[in-house]
Structure 1
Amino acid sequence: MSALADAVELSLESMGRAPLQGRSKASLERMLATARTLMVERGNEDFTLQEVSSRGKVSIGSIYLRFENKDSLVRAVLYRATQTLAQEEDTMQAALAASCATLKEFVPHYVEAYSEVLRRNAPLLRLTMMRAEHDPPISALGKRAALLAESKALAAFMRYRDEIAGPDPEMCAKAAHHIIFATLARQLSLGSSSESVTNYDWNVLKRELGRMCTAYFAAV
């Protein structure tokens, strides 16, 4: 089975034992929330299950009842993070579809909204990308999330295909998405490198990126 196919099978249940009762579900949510908080606070996976137990008010035995080891818990947190990101993308796309009548109006609003979705999710998205370098299931999960995000962006841009200049609107839409994501990802230090254009104003970046992509669609 390919790595991407593996990701399709990856779920919260596949990484831990699914709780059956309400109290157990609440305990699981505390485990995930506490591990997530520790990861975001520290910017890494350098926490112990004892810390999760103490801060989350769950017993070590309960943690091991749900997760085989710390890696399984980390994977579950990152899986949940990709779900959250996808849900925020869906909400964003729905709002933009309802409010933007033209491509010229849509593009800057898309850049603004997508920038903020990525910014809110950056801490765990960064950790997902870092873990993907050595963890095949997370690598596959990340690839699936990236392909899904691309397909959503493509569908959004193609609603205005008649306004995209040039013979291949789909190619232009894909290029615009990659340009937008790559620019924002570098600014947010996503990936294994800690480098970031930290001296570039975030609001200026969003504004100018929107202007450039609008001009690109009109010129191609």
Structure 2
Amino acid sequence: MDRYEASPFVRRPVQERSRVALARIVAAATEVLVRKGDDGFSMAEVAEAAGIPVGNIYRRFDGKDSIVQAIKLEAIRRLEDAVCERLNGQKFAGPSEIVSEISAILAEISERDEALHRVLYSYPMLTPSLRAIGLAGRGRVFAHYNNAVSGFLDFLPEKRRLSVIGFSYQIIVSSFVSKSRGDDPILLEMSWSALAQEVTKAATGYLKEAA
């Protein structure tokens, strides 16, 4: 919960009881968001689920939008942490291993947080503020991926190398977002691990052909 306390969308608690209250609010808000989606998400619903007065929530958040923003930012940070831990400083034999690793990470986290991601990546959630959080997070994760892959493609001109790596990254990420969103029946029929395998083949094949 420490990162929620430091979130730019949260008024930072000072006392221990305030930290406990924040934890209850976030847990309740996440549960309501998963259960009711954006349309049914309200401060009143969160307060009821948390068992605290609505006024207590406003001590920590400006409103329901800031709660959702904090939840989305934390979901992205969990993914970024996993990518950073498993890509940075690791020795890979080639780009295919890196693609396989990042696809496996996305599969694990997408499966674990499937219900939450379904809401966070849904079309009603594509507000400018939430989209900005998503794009910034996608950019940070790409930086880890780019650093890992670049050394294997250093024979390419810098601009071409960045373009090739960027497009392979889009193949990976867009596939997982599409399945999370539930807008592709073919992807919906796949398990997360099966999607990781197919994405690895597609992105690795592109890297080989493009290079």
Shorter chain as normaliser: what TM range? 0.7 to 0.9
**CA 1:64 to 1:219, structure 2 compared with 1: closer, same or farther past 3 Å?**
closer
Would the aligned equivalents of 1:39 and 1:45 in 2 still touch at CA under 8 Å?
Answer: no
* Structure 1 equivalent of residue 172 of structure 2: 180
Secondary structure of 2:13's match? coil
Aligned sequence identity (%): 22
Distance apart, 1:36 and its partner CA: 0.8
Q: Alpha-carbon deviations, 1:81-110, whole Å to 9, x = none?
A: 23323223323324xx52533334333233
* Structure 1 unaligned residues grouped into runs of 5+: 1-10
* Structure 2 equivalent of residue 75 of structure 1: 69
Deviates further, 78-87 or 146-155: 78-87
Superposition misfits of 4+ residues, deviation over 4 angstroms:
11-14
Instruction: Give the partner amino acid of 1:88.
Output: A
Task: After TM superposition, list the pairs within 5 Å mapping 1:199-214 onto structure 2.
Answer: 199-214=189-204
* Structure 1 equivalent of residue 112 of structure 2: 120
**CA 1:55 to 1:122, structure 2 compared with 1: closer, same or farther past 3 Å?**
same
* Structure 2 equivalent of residue 4 of structure 1: none
**CA 1:201 to 1:29, structure 2 compared with 1: closer, same or farther past 3 Å?**
closer
Q: Which of 79, 86, 89 is 1:85 aligned to?
A: 79
* Structure 2 equivalent of residue 7 of structure 1: none
Q: Which of 35, 39, 46 is 2:33 aligned to?
A: 39
* Structure 2 equivalent of residue 8 of structure 1: none
2:169 and 2:62 mapped to 1: Cα distance? 38
**CA 1:43 to 1:195, structure 2 compared with 1: closer, same or farther past 3 Å?**
farther
Deviates further, 195-204 or 15-24: 195-204
* Structure 2 equivalent of residue 216 of structure 1: 206
Secondary structure of 1:19's match? coil
Instruction: Give the partner amino acid of 1:178.
Output: Q
2:46 and 2:38 mapped to 1: Cα distance? 14
Query: What TM-score results when the alignment is normalised by the length of structure 2?
Result: 0.76
Q: Which of 103, 110, 123 is 1:111 aligned to?
A: 103
1:168 and 1:115 mapped to 2: Cα distance? 28
**CA 1:185 to 1:89, structure 2 compared with 1: closer, same or farther past 3 Å?**
same
Distance apart, 1:24 and its partner CA: 0.5
Q: How many residue pairs get matched?
A: 202
* Structure 2 equivalent of residue 53 of structure 1: 47
Instruction: Give the partner amino acid of 1:30.
Output: R
- The question of 1:143 aligning with 2:135 is answered yes
- The question of 1:133 aligning with 2:126 is answered yes
**CA 1:49 to 1:27, structure 2 compared with 1: closer, same or farther past 3 Å?**
same
Q: Which of 79, 101, 116 is 2:93 aligned to?
A: 101
* Structure 2 unaligned residues grouped into runs of 5+: none
Q: Which of 12, 20, 25 is 1:18 aligned to?
A: 12
Secondary structure of 1:159's match? helix
* Structure 2 equivalent of residue 158 of structure 1: 150
2:101 and 2:10 mapped to 1: Cα distance? 39
Distance apart, 1:58 and its partner CA: 2.6
Secondary structure of 1:98's match? coil
Distance apart, 1:35 and its partner CA: 0.2
Q: Alpha-carbon deviations, 1:15-64, whole Å to 9, x = none?
A: 34321111111111110111012212334351343332333233333112
